[in-house]
Amino acid sequence: MEKTPSWKRILLKLSGETLGGKGAFGIDIEAAEYIAKEVKTIHDLGCEIAIVIGGGNFIRGEKLSQIGIDRATADYMGMLGTMINALALQSTFEKLGLFTRVLSAITMVEIGEPFIRRRAIRHLEKGRIVIFAAGTGSPYFSTDTASALRASEIHANVLLKATNVEGIYSADPKLKKDAKLLSEINPLELVQQGLRVMDLTAVTLSMENKVPVIVFNVFKKDNLKKLVLGEKIGSEIK
């Protein structure tokens, strides 16, 4: 008997670096194609999928502000980077026969629809993959916060944060070899232990709206599908 998905409507958060490949800069077409194929596997299961994409493979507003560019201006520059990634994802998805819509928090009608909550939900109901670009549309908010906001707005059953590590560790595994993978953690522990997995605004928003957050390694083949089918993968913030 074929398993059924644990969640019907999913918000997948992708960092810009997931499209950057090994170089972590620009767009690696192989990385984009890999992500598209992984997403298709859960779309084929009947899941409604929305994606929030970052822009860190091109530009990071926070870092630009540290070298003298006005923070608000730097953040808007970062939002433009997310639009580049959104269009790349859209093209890659459509090569696999998936219908997509790019919805932008900043008006760019020539290349994407403006974000309208009801329209986004309708696209999902019709089986289209919705890619949210330009973050929240406001400076000072990360794309993690945008993912928590959009997940709440569209009534997503879960927020899946895709990374290149297995989940949340007790310390940075690159710096401490004895760091332990945590299967579960609550928001207070995240703050107390200084684990910078998601910013506090994003975690708080998700918790307030009862949207579970799972951090997992998207680059382990079929992890996304296994997770959606109920396997315990990654770390849950609850």
For tokens 């929305």, name the residue: 50
Residue 4 located in a structural domain: no
Say which CATH number the domain at 174 has.
Answer: 3.40.1160.10
Residue 20 located in a structural domain: yes
Residue 221 located in a structural domain: yes
Residue 60 located in a structural domain: yes
**Predicted pLDDT of residue 2:** 66
**Predicted pLDDT of residue 43:** 98
The domain containing residue 220 runs over which residues?
9-237
Residue 1 located in a structural domain: no
For tokens 């997310």, name the residue: 82
Joined together, the tokens standing for residue 70 give 């006005």
Which residues are registered as beta bridge partners of 169? 181
- Pick from 121, 124, 131: which is nearest to 93 by CA? 131
Residue 140 located in a structural domain: yes
Asked if 50 contacts 129 with a C-beta cutoff of 8 angstroms, the reply is: yes
Residue 194 located in a structural domain: yes
Residue 3 located in a structural domain: no
* Domain count for the chain: 1
pLDDT one digit per residue (tens) for the chain, 238 residues: 568 999 999 999 999 989 987 767 889 999 999 999 999 999 999 999 999 999 989 987 777 878 889 999 999 999 999 999 999 999 999 999 999 999 999 999 999 999 999 999 999 999 999 999 999 999 999 999 999 999 999 999 999 999 988 999 988 777 788 889 999 998 888 878 878 788 889 999 999 999 999 999 999 999 999 999 999 999 999 8
